[in-house]
Amino acid sequence: MKLQELLKGIKPTSVIGGVDADITGVDIDSRQVKDGHLFVAMKGTQVDGHRFIPKAIEQGASAVLCEDLPEEKAEGVTYIQVPSTEDAVGHVATLFYGDPSKKLKLVGVTGTNGKTTIATLLYNMFRKMGYKCGLLSTVVNYIDGEAIPADHTTPDPIELNMLLGKMVEAGCEYAFMECSSHAIAQKRIGGLKFTGGIFTNLTRDHLDYHKTFENYRNAKKAFFDGLPKSAFAITNADDKNGMIMVQNTKATVKTYSIRQMADFRARIIEMHFAGMYLDIDGHEVGVQFIGKFNVSNLLAVYAAARMLGKDPEEILVILSTLHSVSGRLEPIQSPKGFTAIVDYAHTPDALQNVLAAIHEVLNGKGHVITVCGAGGNRDHGKRPLMAQEAVKQSDKVIITSDNPRFEDPQAIIDDMLAGLNAQQMQKVISIVDRKEAIKTACMMAQKGDVILVAGKGHENYQEIKGVKHHFDDHEVLREIFGINTPSQDAAAGACDK
Ligand SMILES: CC(=O)N[C@H]1[C@@H](OP(=O)(O)OP(=O)(O)OC[C@H]2O[C@@H](n3ccc(=O)[nH]c3=O)[C@H](O)[C@@H]2O)O[C@H](CO)[C@@H](O)[C@@H]1O[C@H](C)C(=O)N[C@@H](C)C(=O)N[C@H](CCC(=O)O)C(=O)O
Ligand SMILES: Nc1ncnc2c1ncn2[C@@H]1O[C@H](COP(=O)(O)OP(=O)(O)OP(=O)(O)O)[C@@H](O)[C@H]1O
Ligand SMILES: N[C@H](CCC[C@H](N)C(=O)O)C(=O)O
Ligand SMILES: [Mg+2]
């Protein structure tokens, strides 16, 4: 594509050199640059990308997009100056990959919790309706059924547009993506044309990056501020920030709620470990999910499908066939009559939520045994707090390993135990080997009890000293229960694994 074409989406303050060159790629990382590429110099959180302009040219860059022009300019290289490369990069990347989001019905999901769940369920639903779809999520990306590993919740603007471009090439009509607060703040989604946006909820998170709650909230809100008039903005009326999110949007606002009047409403009729009966917009429907927060998630999925023009009956029939996203409050029934739940909860807050969701269903009719650990070489402060949360809502807790990385697994467990007093300790045992810990929990559990296996969710490894050893909580549980293998599950169409 001609450089001239790529510059149409931005307003350079100066251009030094010709604009006729054929640009063969766009990079924000000098290490990726090849002959004929455009290198975009970004001022990052760690280093200033402008430092790598000479390196990018050495690797073959024929054009450089930057905020500060270098004093020495290389011959035959075009320099384009803009006030902010962060603002410009999304627009350039989008044009380079053929403006893919314009050719898709793209729906973005933002909020603290529930993004992966909602985006994945929408992807599964629309595929079941017969459409070709794409998904960009924390767990995995999909292009019409083809899985592509994900490193980020929201990829960088180059990879993001490249993936959207591949979706268009593959004939996808819909794409569902998570928009993390980092991605919105860093304008990774700049230049994308959204058909709609969904807000889930907002609790304190990522303050190491955003510094204040207001900045974090404003990052999420910026997504809705940027939606066009033609789009829809679906917001959670039950969250106290729900209406703030959409107060300045041009998009058509729709609300959903499980507690009050709203455009889309749901209530729980009945709840079991196998699922719930819900009333959604006056229709009764059985779903294979548990937990009140999943009612909100399912309602957001329903609302988005309605806003995308789908028939309520068709949506509800498919909703009843969907199952939980891998490692998100995922129940596995034991032949002995107790339930194991695999969940990714790896923070004190998430443990509190997931245990509360379990108690909603259990309703005092069984015991809860929690198996959990904490990651090595990560936030030490959360360890004692996680143990406290586990103990608060469990009858028995088995503290074990969860990716010890380069730390001594027993030392991590000791950090967790340090949060407990003598009385709390009576509920707790520690077993370093995670498989043994899960086995022990299964031996203790009686009919009607629940075992929560927390922390790893979809992960299929145990990371020890830089090596990822295969380990999958689901697999271990199924092995103990002597039930179907994951490959049989995959054959049954579990496209969210
Ligand atoms: C803190 C943060 O978000 N950092 C992201 C940011 O990188 P950065 O600003 O720190 O980059 P930097 O290292 O300072 O480098 C500046 C520039 O120089 C370039 N560079 C660097 C070295 C070199 O040799 N050559 C070169 O050109 C870099 O490519 C970059 O363009 O921009 C990069 C490109 O988009 C991201 O890959 C990177 O994500 C890092 C790896 C990361 O861990 N991000 C996490 C926190 C994140 O984004 N998480 C959210 C989800 C959060 C959640 O909800 O759980 C996500 O969307 O995944
Ligand atoms: N609506 C919700 N409210 C509160 N908790 C939720 C909600 N939906 C899911 N959860 C719980 O929060 C955790 C994360 O869920 P999910 O992966 O869907 O969220 P996410 O927003 O994609 O998170 P991330 O920021 O890690 O990408 C899980 O432990 C899940 O059980
Ligand atoms: N994104 C999170 C995931 C942690 C999952 C848990 N299994 C662990 O390894 O601590 C982190 O890197 O902190
Ligand atoms: Mg996610």
List Cβ neighbours of 31 (8 Å cut-off, separation of 6 or more): none
Question: Are the CB atoms for 190 and 84 separated by under 8 Å?
Answer: no
Q: CB 417: neighbour CB atoms within 10 A?
A: 16
Asked if residue 346 has its Cβ within 6 Å of ligand 3, the reply is yes
User: Radius of gyration (Cα) for the chain, nearest Å?
Assistant: 24
Residue 409 confidence (pLDDT) above 70 = yes
The residue whose CA has the least distance to atom 8 of ligand 3 is 375
List of domains in the chain: 3-96 (3.40.1390.10), 98-321 (3.40.1190.10), 330-481 (3.90.190.20)
The residue whose CA has the least distance to atom 29 of ligand 1 is 29
**What's the pLDDT score for residue 497?**
32
Pocket test for ligand 1, best of 26, 27, 29, 33 (most atoms within 8 A of CB): 29
The residue whose CA has the least distance to atom 12 of ligand 3 is 378
Residue 289 confidence (pLDDT) above 90 = yes
Q: pLDDT-derived band of residue 493, with 50, 70 and 90 as boundaries? A: very low
Q: Report the separation in Å between the CA atom of 178 and the middle of ligand 4, taken as the mean of its atom positions.
A: 7
Q: Report the separation in Å between the CA atom of 206 and the middle of ligand 4, taken as the mean of its atom positions.
A: 13
Q: Which residues carry a binding-site annotation?
A: 30, 111-117, 153-154, 180, 186, 188, 378, 402-405, 455, 459
Please tell me the distance from the alpha carbon of residue 327 to that of residue 136, in angstroms, as a whole number.
Answer: 17
Q: Report the separation in Å between the CA atom of 383 and the middle of ligand 3, taken as the mean of its atom positions.
A: 12
Q: pLDDT-derived band of residue 402, with 50, 70 and 90 as boundaries? A: very high
79, β-bridge pairs: 16, 64
Half-sphere exposure (CA, 13 Å, Cβ side) for 372?
Answer: 38
The residue whose CA has the least distance to atom 42 of ligand 1 is 152
Question: Are the CB atoms for 179 and 226 separated by under 8 Å?
Answer: no
Please tell me the distance from the alpha carbon of residue 420 to that of residue 425, in angstroms, as a whole number.
Answer: 6
Q: Report the separation in Å between the CA atom of 121 and the middle of ligand 4, taken as the mean of its atom positions.
A: 12
Residue 30 confidence (pLDDT) above 70 = yes
Q: Report the separation in Å between the CA atom of 50 and the middle of ligand 1, taken as the mean of its atom positions.
A: 15
Average confidence (pLDDT) over 272-279 = 92
The residue whose CA has the least distance to atom 9 of ligand 2 is 114
Q: CB 478: neighbour CB atoms within 10 A?
A: 19
- Residue 50 is classified by DSSP as G
Q: Which residues carry a binding-site annotation for ATP?
A: 111-117
**What's the pLDDT score for residue 491?**
31
Tell me the pLDDT tens digit for each residue of 58-105.
999 999 999 999 999 999 999 999 999 999 999 999 999 999 999 999
ipTM above 0.85, yes or no: yes
Tell me the pLDDT tens digit for each residue of 318-329.
999 999 888 999
Residue 489 confidence (pLDDT) above 70 = no
